Structure 1
Amino acid sequence: MTPDSSPLRYIDDAPTDPKLVRAARPVLDRLADQLADAPVTILLASQDATIVDRRAGQRSLLGRLDRAQVAPGFIFAEECAGTNGIGTALEERKAFRVRGEEHLLEALHPLACVGSPIVDPVSRAVTGIVDITCQVDDVNELMAPLVLSAVRDIEERLFALSARSEQNLLREYMRSKRRGHAAVVAMSRDTVIATPTVSRLMDSTDQMMIWDWISTHLAAKDEWEGPLRFADGIDVRVHARRVGESTDPLSAILELRPLASPAPPRPRARLAPAAPAGAAPATRIAGRSLAAHRLQDRVDEITATVAPVLIVGESGVGKTHLARQIQYRWGRHDPVPSVDASMLTPSAVAELRARLSGSFACIIEHLDEVPDDAVASTRRLLDAAVELGAPVIATATSSTPDDLRHQVQTHVRRSVCIPPLRQRIEDLTDLARELLAAELPDRPTPQLQPAAHRALIDHHWPGNLRELASVLSTAAARSMGFDIKLEHLPADYRTLGAGRRLTSLERTEREAIVRALDESDGNKSLAAHRLGVARSTLYRKIRALGLENETFGS
Structure 2
Amino acid sequence: MDFDAQALPDSAAIRAEIDRSWRRCQVIGVDRSARELPFTDDGIPDNRVLLAARPVLDRLSTQLQDAPVTILLADRDARIIDRWTGKHELLSQLDSATVAPGFQFAEEFAGTNGIGTALEERTPFRVKGEEHLLESLHRFACVGAPIVHPINRSVVGILDITCEIGDVNDLMAPLISAAVSDIEERLYGQSSRTERRLLREYAQVRRSSAKAVVAMSPDTVIATPVASSYLDYSDQAMLWDWASGIVPDRPSHTETLRLADGRDVEVTARRVSDAAEPLGVVMELRALTEPVAGSGHTAAPALALLTGPSRSGVERLPGRSLATRQLQSQLDGFAQQTGPVLITGEPGVGKARTAAYLTRLWGFADNLLTVAGSGLTAADLPRLRAQIDEGSALLITRIDEVPAEAAAEVRTLVIETNEAGSPLTATSSTELRGDDASGLSSHFLRRAYVSPLRHRTDEIDDLARVILTEHVSGPRAPRLQPATRKSLAAHHWPGNVRELASVLVSSLPKAMSSDIGLEHLPAEYRTITSGRELTSLEQTERETVIRVLNEAGGNKSIAAEQLGIARSTLYRKLRALGLEQGRFLS
TM range (shorter): 0.5 to 0.7
Q: 1:124 to 1:422 in 2, by over 3 A?
A: same
What corresponds to 2:134 in structure 1? 103
- Asked if residue 118 in structure 1 is aligned to residue 146 in structure 2, the reply is yes
* Counterpart Cα distance in 2 of 1:110 and 1:377: 74
- Asked if residue 8 in structure 1 is aligned to residue 38 in structure 2, the reply is yes
Q: Deviations over 1:149-193 (max 9, x none)?
A: 3245315653786799987336557999xxxxxxx9743656348
Structure 1 position 309, deviation (Å): 1.7
What corresponds to 1:452 in structure 2? 481
What corresponds to 2:180 in structure 1? 154
Q: 1:76 to 1:442 in 2, by over 3 A?
A: closer
Q: 1:387 to 1:282 in 2, by over 3 A?
A: same
Q: Deviations over 1:4-42 (max 9, x none)?
A: xx9737483463395x55654444333444456778754
What corresponds to 1:309 in structure 2? 341
How many residue pairs get aligned? The number is 457
Q: Deviations over 1:485-516 (max 9, x none)?
A: 5669835589988795246489979x99xxxx
Query: 376, 381, 397: which is aligned to 1:365?
Result: 397
Structure 1: runs of 5 or more not aligned: 1-5, 177-183, 194-198, 257-263, 266-273, 276-280, 513-540, 546-554
* Counterpart Cα distance in 1 of 2:282 and 2:54: 31
- Asked if residue 187 in structure 1 is aligned to residue 219 in structure 2, the reply is no
Matches within 5 A, 1:52-201: 52-55=81-84, 65=95, 70-72=100-102, 75-80=104-109, 86-91=115-120, 94-97=125-128, 103=134, 114=142, 116-118=144-146, 120=148, 127-132=156-161, 141-142=167-168, 146=172, 149-155=175-181, 157-158=183-184, 168-169=197-198, 171-172=200-201, 186-187=215-216, 189=220, 191-192=222-223
Corresponding letter in the other structure for 1:308: P
What corresponds to 1:253 in structure 2? 281
Query: 29, 39, 43: which is aligned to 2:58?
Result: 29
TM-score (norm 2): 0.57
Q: 1:430 to 1:231 in 2, by over 3 A?
A: farther
What corresponds to 1:230 in structure 2? 257
TM-score (norm 1): 0.59
What corresponds to 2:355 in structure 1? 323
* Counterpart Cα distance in 2 of 1:62 and 1:377: 80
Matches within 5 A, 1:248-287: 252-253=280-281, 281-287=313-319
SS in 2 for 1:338: strand
SS in 2 for 1:324: helix
What corresponds to 2:380 in structure 1? 348
* Counterpart Cα distance in 1 of 2:72 and 2:333: 59
Q: 1:171 to 1:77 in 2, by over 3 A?
A: closer
What corresponds to 2:72 in structure 1? 43
What corresponds to 1:424 in structure 2? 456
Corresponding letter in the other structure for 1:327: T
Structure 1 position 52, deviation (Å): 4.0
**Equivalent pair of 1:242/1:252 in contact (CA under 8 Å):** yes
SS in 2 for 1:154: helix
Q: 1:175 to 1:145 in 2, by over 3 A?
A: closer
* Counterpart Cα distance in 1 of 2:113 and 2:542: 40
- Asked if residue 291 in structure 1 is aligned to residue 329 in structure 2, the reply is no
Q: Deviations over 1:123-146 (max 9, x none)?
A: 886553334568xxx666248954
Corresponding letter in the other structure for 1:154: V
Q: 1:508 to 1:208 in 2, by over 3 A?
A: same
Structure 1 position 118, deviation (Å): 0.9
**Equivalent pair of 2:433/2:442 in contact (CA under 8 Å):** no
Q: 1:289 to 1:191 in 2, by over 3 A?
A: same
Q: 1:406 to 1:344 in 2, by over 3 A?
A: closer
Matches within 5 A, 1:511-522: none
Structure 1 position 348, deviation (Å): 3.1
Corresponding letter in the other structure for 1:329: L
SS in 2 for 1:352: helix
Matches within 5 A, 1:453-532: 453-460=482-489, 462=493, 467=500, 471=504, 485=515, 490=520, 492=522, 500-502=532-534, 504=538
SS in 2 for 1:337: strand
What corresponds to 1:204 in structure 2? 231
**Equivalent pair of 1:43/1:55 in contact (CA under 8 Å):** yes
* Counterpart Cα distance in 1 of 2:504 and 2:139: 35
What corresponds to 1:300 in structure 2? 332
SS in 2 for 1:283: coil
Structure 2: runs of 5 or more not aligned: 1-35, 206-212, 285-305, 547-574, 579-586
* Counterpart Cα distance in 1 of 2:420 and 2:97: 73
**Equivalent pair of 2:487/2:528 in contact (CA under 8 Å):** yes
What corresponds to 1:549 in structure 2? none
**Equivalent pair of 2:143/2:176 in contact (CA under 8 Å):** no
SS in 1 for 2:167: coil
SS in 1 for 2:57: helix
Structure 1 position 307, deviation (Å): 1.9
Query: 356, 369, 374: which is aligned to 1:337?
Result: 369
* Counterpart Cα distance in 2 of 1:147 and 1:496: 36
**Cα RMSD (Å) of the superposition?**
6.0
**Equivalent pair of 2:403/2:438 in contact (CA under 8 Å):** no
SS in 2 for 1:191: strand
**Equivalent pair of 1:353/1:381 in contact (CA under 8 Å):** yes
What corresponds to 2:424 in structure 1? 392
Q: Deviations over 1:282-336 (max 9, x none)?
A: 2223443323322222212222332222223455544333222211221324241
The worse-fitting range, judged by mean Cα deviation, of 389-398 and 141-150 is 141-150
**Equivalent pair of 1:186/1:251 in contact (CA under 8 Å):** no
Corresponding letter in the other structure for 2:222: T
**Equivalent pair of 1:312/1:396 in contact (CA under 8 Å):** yes
Structure 1 position 243, deviation (Å): 8.0
